[in-house]
């Protein structure tokens, strides 16, 4: 499992393809928001939270798509499926790789969006990092599963977001609420139920992906 993580990350570190294209797309999206939303006015934290997650999601779609397309093209997935390891571990390996990539993207993006679109300054605390980790974990688990499914079809680039976005709806609602709360410096106990929900979402769908990968990789 860790070998898969290491392999995916080293491909990324060597080429930097994904990181650069994700970053560029995200930046362009932020510019788009800036042009269309009149950034002279201070954007409310709720909007900022929503914009940040939407940007991360759209940019993340690129990385997720890539993670299986590369494998399919090179026949890597067949190799992985033949390897004498549990199929669930392949899922976990892939998901952790995507998780780390998306997390780095989030850590870069969120402050960037906050700076460019303006906020009253970040409230210190663990709430924002916690939200980011939990939210990105959910996106990575659902995203990895959907990317594996979509990569098999003709229209994979189109299908991945179509499959992924509705399934992520509860996660996005919860992540946006907690992020907004973190931005205005609310007490974390106010959003406790949302945090629990993020955690529950991660557990349910990581388990689902882990269990169902047996059926996904069976060629």
Partner 1 sequence: MSESRRIWQDTILPWTTCVAMLAAIFMVFVLVPSERDQGVVQRIFYFHVNLAWMAFGGFAVVAAMSVWFLRTGNRRADRLAHANAEVGMLFTTLVLVTGPIWARPIWGVWWTWDPRLTMTIVLWSIYAAYLMLRRLGGEDDTIVRYAAVLGIVGALNIPLLVLAVRLWRGIHPAVMLSNDPDAGLKDPLMGWTLLASGIALALLFTWLVSLRARLLAVDESVAALHLEGVRT
Binding site for partner 1 (CB under 8 A): 142, 145, 149-150, 152-155, 159, 162-163, 165-167, 169-170, 173-174, 193-194, 197, 200-201, 204-205, 208, 212, 215-216, 218-219
CA atoms of 175 and 171, how far apart (whole Å): 6
SS (H, E, C) 37-99: CCCCCCCCHHHHHHHHHHHHHHHHHHHHHHHHHHHHHHCHHHHHHHCCCCHHHHHHHHHHHHH
In the complex, minimum distance from the CB of residue 162 to partner 1, in angstroms, rounded to a whole number: 5
In the complex, minimum distance from the CB of residue 34 to partner 1, in angstroms, rounded to a whole number: 26
In the complex, minimum distance from the CB of residue 88 to partner 1, in angstroms, rounded to a whole number: 13
Residue 187, SS3 per DSSP: coil
**Residue 33 vs 205, nearer CB to partner 1:** 205
**Residue 26 vs 210, nearer CB to partner 1:** 210
CA atoms of 9 and 11, how far apart (whole Å): 5
* Residue 36: how many other CB atoms lie within 10 Å: 8
Q: Report the chain's C-alpha Rg in angstroms.
A: 18
In the complex, minimum distance from the CB of residue 166 to partner 1, in angstroms, rounded to a whole number: 4
In the complex, minimum distance from the CB of residue 177 to partner 1, in angstroms, rounded to a whole number: 8
**154 contacts: CB under 8 Å, gap ≥ 6:** none
């Amino acid at each position: 499992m860790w070998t898969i993580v290491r392999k995916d990350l080293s491909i990324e570190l060597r080429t930097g393809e994904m990181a650069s294209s994700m970053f560029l797309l995200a930046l362009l999206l932020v510019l788009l928001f800036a042009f269309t939303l009149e950034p002279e006015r201070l954007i409310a934290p709720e909007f900022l939270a929503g914009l940040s997650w939407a940007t991360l999601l759209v940019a993340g779609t690129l990385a997720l798509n890539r993670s299986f397309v590369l494998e399919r093209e090179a026949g890597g997935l067949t190799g992985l499926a033949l390897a004498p390891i549990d199929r669930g571990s392949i899922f976990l390996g892939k998901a952790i790789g995507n998780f780390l990539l998306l997390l780095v993207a989030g850590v870069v993006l969120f402050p960037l969006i906050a700076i460019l679109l303006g906020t009253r300054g970040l409230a210190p605390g663990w709430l924002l990092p916690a939200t980011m980790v939990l939210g990105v974990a959910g996106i990575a688990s659902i995203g990895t599963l959907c990317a594996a499914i979509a990569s098999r079809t003709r229209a994979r680039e189109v299908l991945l977001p179509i499959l992924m976005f509705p399934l992520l709806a509860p996660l996005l609602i919860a992540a946006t609420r907690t992020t907004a709360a973190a931005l205005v410096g609310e007490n974390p106990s106010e959003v406790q139920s949302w945090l629990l929900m993020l955690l529950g979402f991660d557990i349910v769908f990581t388990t689902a992906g882990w269990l169902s990968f047996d059926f996904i990789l069976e060629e």
